[in-house]
Structure 1
Amino acid sequence: MCGFAGVFDRRDRRTVPEPIIDAMTDALVHRGPDGRGTHIEAGIALGHRRLSIIDLSRGHQPMPSDDGRFQIVFNGEIYNFRELKAELQAAGHEFRYDSDTEVLIEGYRAWGAEMLPRLVGMFTFAIWDARERTLFLARDRFGVKPLYIAHLPDGRTLFGSEMKALMAWPNLPRDVDPRAIEDYFAYGYVPEDKSFLRAVSKLPPAHHLTLRQDGGAAPTPVRYWDIEFRAKHRGPVEKLEAELIERLEAAVGSRMVADVEVAAFLSGGVDSSAVVALMAGISERQVKSLSIGFDEGGFDETPHAEEVARRYATEHHSRTVTADDYGLIETLATAFDEPFADASAVPTYRVCELAREHVKVSLSGDGADEAMAGYRRYRLFMNEQRVRGILPAGMRRGIFGALGRAYPKLDGAPRFLRAKTTFEALAMSPGEAYYHAVSVTSDRMRGELFSSGLKDALGGYEAKRLYADTFAGAPADSTLGAAQYTDIQHYLPGDILTKVDRTSMAVSLEAREPLLDHRLVEWIAALPDRHRLRGGEGKWLMKRALKPYLPNDILYRKKMGFVVPIERWFRGALADRVAGLVSDSKVAGSGWFDMDRFGRLADDHRTGRGEHSRTLWQMVMLEEALARL
């Protein structure tokens, strides 16, 4: 695992001063504390920071090909590199190292962009071809690893593993994209088709981009992979269970390959417990597991993690932290660069911090909720969809639209009384309703909070179109498949994988996601819906298959996740911090918000008249991001 940065001159062959590429590279020292390297020639500059995991004494980057034609910088791991190396050797390619980086060079020489579908792993990389004067950029299928790009007006293209590397470039335009503000308050993150800054974008997951020194405009990225949720695998449940376990074992086993010790996060939930159970069956030595507990019972899952650790006799390390761990706000803002409002980043950072004290690599259970329909919102959405299937759209809009407008907003009431959002969703199309289910600050609330100036700057742009349009065009047989597909395109890379990448890399830890092996996810996506969600139970087939490995109180207990008490924070220790935003802050000075309305929102939350913790958290994290521009 590493970090890299670079500058490519599309127009001329200007040379980048070494101190500048060094500054860009060294902004990523946390991603690679074990070494650094630079390659500069006319028109191209590459910088790299290394966290050594495979081929520890060699494999330094930027890595040249044996003939000097290619130079590569690479972030990630290719889990099938030895199989690809054998195939390339059989075709006459020669190798100097036992490194996945060199396999990428020779694979690109042999297959060009057609190499990408052959790769199993998480990756971003840049390959400079000195003969063709081209730069090839690529990102893995799910977006596990990030890649930021800025095409500057002077013809240069900047690229790097985090936005802070690009911000080290002198005079990078720092104006904020107003669409990113709309997206951020809708979703809690800035999606993968843009960044916080107007001048910077992200290479989308499963895309590649070829830049040429021909003076032309920057081309559009090309998609090389997609997933379909179409039922193709049928047969006896017992046979499917056995095949699922085989695929899980293969995915976990491939992620355990390293020249350093590999551990696993263990929350006590289904996914991380499954990873630990399968590791224990594969590993020849005792598995290390890592858990974070909280000093309040309502937020603490450590008893469940300890149950799994005892069952598999792991070397278990746990740490109890205070549930009021809001002191990490500044640390997280520095790690993310862009505003990021998933508060579970706080405990995720803490468990990564604990893991780094023992290992360089840890496996996580991320990805199964999206692939196997594990989120509660899938069940609720499909319940709503049954109603939509009974009533015509016109009748639903009339009946439920009126009920949604008339029903009071009862934030503090028991869940069964909070029907306003359900009525509103039933009046919508499925895609719009699913967006409604995942949004953080509602369209209505954003309409009240946003200033007329921000609304004008948006020019009619609406965040909901991202989810609704992806949902409508999803390659899926069902609305459940369309919802899962949409989450895999947006929520998974924009929130979950961003959170894990930035928090793990902030402490120089490599996190690997075996449940996102694309071959495994493709197979799961080809199962009938009833094997993913049945009788209100998500991950239905996965839980059945894991019964020999995990007890029922792990498999079937209520999903919890990393919960933090931000609702309480804004009624106590952080109340003054929020109050200070109203008049003396970057967000107040931005002109984007009606700060009087925000002040009333904060006061309603503080006094218990409303529950607005997620919107308040968004504003706090936006303030921190603006302070770092």
Structure 2
Amino acid sequence: MCGIAGVYHPGTPKPVDRARVLAMADAQAHRGPDGAGVWTAPGVGLSHRRLAIIDVAGSPQPMQDGDLTVTYNGEIYNFAEVRGQLHAMGAKFVTEGDTEVLLHAWRAWGPSMLERLNGMFAFALHDAGRQCLFLARDRLGVKPLHYVELSDGSIAFASELKGLLAHPLLRRAPDLSAIEDFMGLGYVPDDTCVVAGVKKLPAAHFLLLERGRGIPHPQRWWDMDFTRRASGSVKDLEAELVERMRAAVRLRMVSDVPLGAFLSGGVDSSAVVALMAEASKDAVKTCTIGFRETGHDERAYADAIAARYHTDHRERVVAADDFALLDRLTTAFDEPFADASALATYRVCELAREQVTVALSGDGADEAFAGYRRYKFQAAEERVRGMLPRGLSSTVFGTLGRLYPKADWAPRPLRAKTTLLALADDGATAYARSVGVTTPALRQHLFTAAAWSQLGGHRAEDRYIATMRDAPARDALDRAQYADVQHWLTGDILTKVDRTSMAVSLEAREPLLDYRLMEFAASLPVSMRLRGGQGKWLMKKAMERYLPRDILYRPKMGFVTPISAWFRGALADEAAALARSQRLLQWFDGPAIEKLAADHKAGRAEHGRTLWQMMTLDRSLAHLFG
């Protein structure tokens, strides 16, 4: 795993300052503490920070082969297979790693090379003969890539935003629409950036910059397809699923440095550990973190899996009031990020890095196999919507929802107001709101009238609604999962894992995001993803031979951070102080924030997540803009 950066002049090939390009990479030194490199030529400069995983003693970057030069972040898991194909075509290799494969693959196949790669990657490849720079990102957006057009006409790119911030020509100004997106979703989506003008290359896209031509739009080279349906018996599909999971895990166990796994005790990480143990001669190194609060602690389940598979297991208890980590995470993420589980994720990465350089995780199964509870509610609501004509259902449920009292404090079955209002909307609109954090009504209340007017009707939820409307899908569940892969997975889950793992120079690998496994999951009949209110139905059935039932069928916990309690206790004063932050008062109404904090502290309302958003936004604005 690595950090990359560079500058390219698509017009006149102006000289590139070598020290400037290296400084962009050095700003990301945590991504690659094992080495640094820089290469420049007229109109182009590439730089690299290396975390050595494969071919540790070789494969320095940027790597050259004739007219080709590449700087690359990631892992091509099937590099040996692709290398064999290229060797048969006459390619001569001088290293043992996967980086050189990219150079020969470009020479052989051009942009279509991407279809042959199975991995997580973001890279920049310069072809002096064709006078072009090729930027590409993996199918699911595991590895990040930011870019921006600078005032001198050049394009600067970097793995992380901080790499671009190291360039003196980047003009730092906040983008209000990205702040609205963050307030709505809890993260800044991949199709925008909080620094105006900066873009993120979307997952499964490439950008081909050619000298003398304008800057084109990125081109998509892969997409999830939910329109196909696999045929076969449950037994046959179950067997195929196990084999695909097994292959994905084994492919990601190739490493020249110590390797282990995160083990939370949930279904996904436990399944990965079980398949690793099956494939390994030695004890798998596993780690987990726990909390002193019983309702948040999953160590007993992790211990059970560790004992079952005789792993080399380590655990650490962390304090639930670990909010002192916020400043470190602000630096790691650059952009505001309100998923509070990032604190726990950072701590487990920190623990893993004490013994290993690579750790496998269980991320991706919820999106692939419909594991989130919200899918169950979405499916139930869609059935109810189908019972009445569209116009009538909107009127009936909208009226009932407005009349029903709001009860955020009550158990979910008694919080009917939210459900009734959701039923009054179409499925896409309701689902878009269900994945959000702060509601559109509350956001409008918090923004000043001037800021709300400046947004010009832009709403965070609209991207979800448009994605679900245009999804390659056959069913409402398909559309919800597709939208989550496009937005939630890349913007929240993978951003969280990448930034927290890279902050401690750890490579995280996600076998359950193998694209072949994802494509198979998308083809499963709805009843094999969600059945009887049980998400990940086929996956859990397939894992019954590996995992005990109390692991497979217990309620999902995840990393829970008690932020609501913090804002009624240790962070209550900081919440109140947000109403006086000049950074926030550019766009937000001070008295509205003050009332939000007071109502939460007094228990009159539940605003913990919104207050956490405001706090992380305030810290991020200070970090980015001073």
Verify: 1:431 aligned to 2:428, yes or no: yes
Question: Which of 553, 563, 566 is the matching residue for 2:560?
Answer: 563
Contact 1:365 1:514 in 2 (8 A): yes
Deviates more, 1:229-238 or 1:476-485: 229-238
Contact 2:150 2:169 in 1 (8 A): no
Verify: 1:350 aligned to 2:347, yes or no: yes
Deviates more, 1:263-272 or 1:579-588: 579-588
Query: Once the two structures are superposed, what CA deviation does each residue of 1:529-565 show, in whole Å capped at 9, x if it has no partner?
Result: 0000000000000101100100000000000000010
Q: Distance in 1 between matches of 2:405 and 2:40?
A: 63
Could you tell me which residue of structure 2 aligns to residue 42 of structure 1? 42
Could you tell me which residue of structure 1 aligns to residue 102 of structure 2? 104
Q: Distance in 1 between matches of 2:109 and 2:451?
A: 47
Contact 2:358 2:507 in 1 (8 A): yes
Alignment of 1:54-69 (within 5 A): 54-65=54-65, 67=66, 69=67
Could you tell me which residue of structure 2 aligns to residue 622 of structure 1? 617
Q: Distance in 2 between matches of 1:286 and 1:34?
A: 27
- Kindly state the Cα deviation for residue 584 of structure 1 after the two structures are TM-superposed: 3.6
1:320 is paired with a residue whose SS is strand
Could you tell me which residue of structure 2 aligns to residue 120 of structure 1? 118
Could you tell me which residue of structure 2 aligns to residue 150 of structure 1? 148
2:61 is paired with a residue whose SS is coil
- Kindly state the Cα deviation for residue 104 of structure 1 after the two structures are TM-superposed: 0.6
Contact 1:229 1:525 in 2 (8 A): yes
Could you tell me which residue of structure 2 aligns to residue 10 of structure 1? 10
Q: Distance in 2 between matches of 1:289 and 1:205?
A: 30
Could you tell me which residue of structure 2 aligns to residue 383 of structure 1? 380
- Kindly state the Cα deviation for residue 569 of structure 1 after the two structures are TM-superposed: 0.4
Structure 2 letter corresponding to 1:608:
G
Contact 2:360 2:508 in 1 (8 A): yes
Question: Which of 497, 508, 526 is the matching residue for 2:494?
Answer: 497
- Kindly state the Cα deviation for residue 230 of structure 1 after the two structures are TM-superposed: 2.8
Query: Once the two structures are superposed, what CA deviation does each residue of 1:500-552 show, in whole Å capped at 9, x if it has no partner?
Result: 00000000000000000000110111110000000000000010110010000
Query: Once the two structures are superposed, what CA deviation does each residue of 1:214-233 show, in whole Å capped at 9, x if it has no partner?
Result: 1x431100000011113421
1:267 is paired with a residue whose SS is coil
- Kindly state the Cα deviation for residue 367 of structure 1 after the two structures are TM-superposed: 0.2
Structure 1 letter corresponding to 2:51:
L
Could you tell me which residue of structure 1 aligns to residue 508 of structure 2? 511
Structure 1 letter corresponding to 2:9:
D
Deviates more, 1:71-80 or 1:411-420: 411-420
- Kindly state the Cα deviation for residue 327 of structure 1 after the two structures are TM-superposed: 0.8
- Kindly state the Cα deviation for residue 105 of structure 1 after the two structures are TM-superposed: 0.6
Structure 1 letter corresponding to 2:108:
A
Question: Which of 65, 86, 89 is the matching residue for 1:88?
Answer: 86
Contact 1:231 1:529 in 2 (8 A): no
Could you tell me which residue of structure 2 aligns to residue 574 of structure 1? 571
Could you tell me which residue of structure 2 aligns to residue 361 of structure 1? 358
Q: Distance in 2 between matches of 1:584 and 1:37?
A: 41
Q: Distance in 2 between matches of 1:324 and 1:376?
A: 27
1:490 is paired with a residue whose SS is helix
Could you tell me which residue of structure 2 aligns to residue 163 of structure 1? 161
2:544 is paired with a residue whose SS is coil
Q: Calculate the TM-score normalised by the size of structure 2.
A: 0.99
Could you tell me which residue of structure 2 aligns to residue 79 of structure 1? 77
- Kindly state the Cα deviation for residue 450 of structure 1 after the two structures are TM-superposed: 1.0
Could you tell me which residue of structure 1 aligns to residue 607 of structure 2? 612
Structure 2 letter corresponding to 1:368:
A
Contact 1:585 1:623 in 2 (8 A): no
1:461 is paired with a residue whose SS is coil
Structure 2 letter corresponding to 1:301:
E
Distance 1:584 1:435, change over 3 A: closer
Structure 2 letter corresponding to 1:538:
G
Q: Distance in 2 between matches of 1:296 and 1:397?
A: 42
Query: Once the two structures are superposed, what CA deviation does each residue of 1:63-116 show, in whole Å capped at 9, x if it has no partner?
Result: 001x2x011000000000000001001011111011110001100110011001
Structure 1 letter corresponding to 2:71:
V
Contact 1:231 1:528 in 2 (8 A): no
Structure 2 letter corresponding to 1:597:
A
Could you tell me which residue of structure 2 aligns to residue 338 of structure 1? 335
Structure 1 letter corresponding to 2:153:
G
2:386 is paired with a residue whose SS is helix
1:145 is paired with a residue whose SS is coil
Q: Distance in 2 between matches of 1:231 and 1:546?
A: 24
Structure 1 letter corresponding to 2:397:
F
Q: Distance in 1 between matches of 2:394 and 2:239?
A: 45
Alignment of 1:427-466 (within 5 A): 427-466=424-463
- Kindly state the Cα deviation for residue 384 of structure 1 after the two structures are TM-superposed: 0.5
Structure 1: state its 5+ residue gaps. Answer: none
Structure 1 letter corresponding to 2:17:
P
Could you tell me which residue of structure 2 aligns to residue 481 of structure 1? 478
Structure 2 letter corresponding to 1:441:
T
Alignment of 1:512-527 (within 5 A): 512-527=509-524
Contact 1:450 1:593 in 2 (8 A): yes
Structure 1 letter corresponding to 2:132:
T
Contact 1:230 1:527 in 2 (8 A): no
Q: Distance in 1 between matches of 2:508 and 2:581?
A: 39
Q: Distance in 2 between matches of 1:231 and 1:60?
A: 43
Contact 2:33 2:49 in 1 (8 A): yes
- Kindly report structure 1 stretches of 4+ aligned residues shifted beyond 3 Å: none
Verify: 1:135 aligned to 2:142, yes or no: no
Q: Distance in 1 between matches of 2:400 and 2:182?
A: 28
Contact 2:261 2:359 in 1 (8 A): yes
Query: Once the two structures are superposed, what CA deviation does each residue of 1:125-164 show, in whole Å capped at 9, x if it has no partner?
Result: 0000111210000000100000001012421101000000
Q: Distance in 2 between matches of 1:337 and 1:13?
A: 31
- Kindly state the Cα deviation for residue 21 of structure 1 after the two structures are TM-superposed: 1.3
Q: Distance in 2 between matches of 1:559 and 1:616?
A: 25
Q: Distance in 2 between matches of 1:270 and 1:457?
A: 45
Could you tell me which residue of structure 1 aligns to residue 367 of structure 2? 370
- Kindly state the Cα deviation for residue 19 of structure 1 after the two structures are TM-superposed: 2.3
Q: Distance in 2 between matches of 1:122 and 1:22?
A: 24
- Kindly state the Cα deviation for residue 456 of structure 1 after the two structures are TM-superposed: 2.1
Could you tell me which residue of structure 2 aligns to residue 194 of structure 1? 192
Structure 1 letter corresponding to 2:422:
A
Could you tell me which residue of structure 1 aligns to residue 175 of structure 2? 177
- Kindly state the Cα deviation for residue 238 of structure 1 after the two structures are TM-superposed: 1.1
Q: Distance in 1 between matches of 2:408 and 2:594?
A: 18
What percent of counterpart residues are identical? 56
- Kindly state the Cα deviation for residue 290 of structure 1 after the two structures are TM-superposed: 0.7
2:157 is paired with a residue whose SS is strand
1:209 is paired with a residue whose SS is strand
